[in-house]
Amino acid sequence: MDRRGAGVGKRMRLAKLVLWAAFWLAALAPAALAQKAGPLTFGVLLPITGPLAEFGKTSKAALDLAQADINAYLAASGQGGTATFLIENTGGSPEQALEKLKSLAGRGVRAVLGPYSDDEAEACLEFADKNNIVLISQGSSGPFLSKKGDNLFRLSPSDTYQAEAVTGLMRQEGVTAVVPLWRADRFGDDMVVHVKARFKQLGGEALPGSRYSADRKDFGPILDDLAKQLAQAQRSGASAKAAIYFAGGEEIVPILKAAAKRPELVSVGWYGSSATAMLDAIAKDPESAAAAMKVRLASPRYGEGGANVYGLIERRIQEKTDTFPDAESVAAYDAAWAAFFTAQAVGGTSDFARFKQGLVQTCERMYGATGWLALNEHGDRREDWDFDFWVLRTENGKPFWEKAARYQFEPGTAKELFLSSGKK
């Protein structure tokens, strides 16, 4: 079989995997499913260019695959009709995201996949609420956007869970005091608030930490302050074990390079956020890579789902883009199916109230590539989320990212969480 034939075979297998969902959705709208399907159109807001372009590329590939798989499913089930995803480039800009949303609305689109980031989602939300447009984001996870009754639904776990995961790893590895270092933006401020609160709940000590502006270039004074606080934490007792928690972006590279010259800063462990997980900028700079390995910088990333189909979708995205995709891109694939099944069940997307209510019901019943899609009262993912921790290693002199730990939700339990840590 040639590569084209193999691709068709994969799509047909995926179509079979999701046939069971139609059974559940039949309970919502039997008459709609009994009729021949008409064309369904959905909008998409993705950062195809700009600072988030890598994520936009893999999300686009996921949605291209979803469109092909959905149309194969429609053909295989004899329902006819097609699903189309109209992709607009936000450039990673909140202002551009809003303009593109208005453009989609002008074409009659009422169900939109995306935007990817918190800032874009925040910029679009007021317009979406006022104009009866449903937003289904695969990437937004900021707690400040968790609101009841709005039109934003999110398939990535809240950053509060990320804070829970990283503090759980710290405590399991014996850390008794944490000193945060973070960029002065919404993400950094939110993460540090939640990390401090959770670490204290787990019995640890959280020091004030050091906050820096996004445009800072000289990190010397910041690292001086960090060193003083580390010394304070380490004087608190013979059994004290301090660590640094970092919430920022690519400025971690000059920070690590400067910290490497200060033994007191690289003699403790460092923990990062999702922004530093598998960050190429670290691996590509020899000095920062060496420092990251010395401090064993461990950063959480929304983890892959447990279903076998997750790996299949991940590989298909990687084949299309030559890029290892983030879990949010696989969530975009799930978002496409959730939107499609909802539209099928309620007879399209034109009836906003029915579609919005139907989406919640669909997600409650749907187990996608990333797991169970059930939503809470704020429209955020309620269950079935995990975080993988990534650290930098070398092999034959070449750096690579390795999964070192997993913070895992165990299905079938009363919200218990299990942590399995790799080698330190």
Q: What are the tens digits of pLDDT across the range 138-178? A: 999 999 999 999 999 999 999 999 999 999 999 999 999 99
Taking only the tens place, the pLDDT of each residue in 34-46 is 345 579 999 999 9
Asked if CATH classification 3.40.50.2300 holds for the domain at 3-158+304-372, the reply, yes or no, is yes
CB 97 within 8 A of CB 124: yes
Where does CATH 3.40.50.2300 sit in the chain? Answer: 3-158+304-372, 160-303+386-421
Rounded to whole angstroms, what are the CA distances from 124 to 52, 114, 117, 224, 352?
17, 10, 11, 40, 17
**Beta-strand pair 371-372/367-368:** antiparallel
pTM recorded for the entire structure: 0.85
Tokens 């109230």 belong to 353
pLDDT attached to residue 308: 79
Which amino acid appears at position 48 of this protein? I
Name the phi and psi angles at 291, rounded to 5.
-70, -40
Q: How far apart are CA 311 and CA 144, in angstroms?
A: 31
How would you label 308-345 residue by residue, b for 16+ Cβ within 10 Å and e otherwise? Answer: ebbebbbebbeebbeeebbbbbbbbbbbbbbbbbbbbb
Taking only the tens place, the pLDDT of each residue in 201-233 is 999 999 999 999 999 999 999 999 999 999 988
Share of residues in the chain with pLDDT > 70 (%): 86
pLDDT attached to residue 240: 79
What value does the mean pLDDT take over residues 300-319? Answer: 87
pLDDT attached to residue 390: 95
Which of 20-24, 104-108, 265-269 is predicted least confidently? 20-24
Sheet with 398-409: strands ordered across: 299-302, 386-395, 398-409, 417-421
Closest C-alpha among 17, 24, 26 to residue 73: 17
What value does the mean pLDDT take over residues 180-204? Answer: 96
Q: How far apart are CA 72 and CA 13, in angstroms?
A: 10
Q: CA 23 from chain center: how many Å?
A: 29
Determine the topology of domain 160-303+386-421 in CATH.
Answer: Rossmann fold (3.40.50)
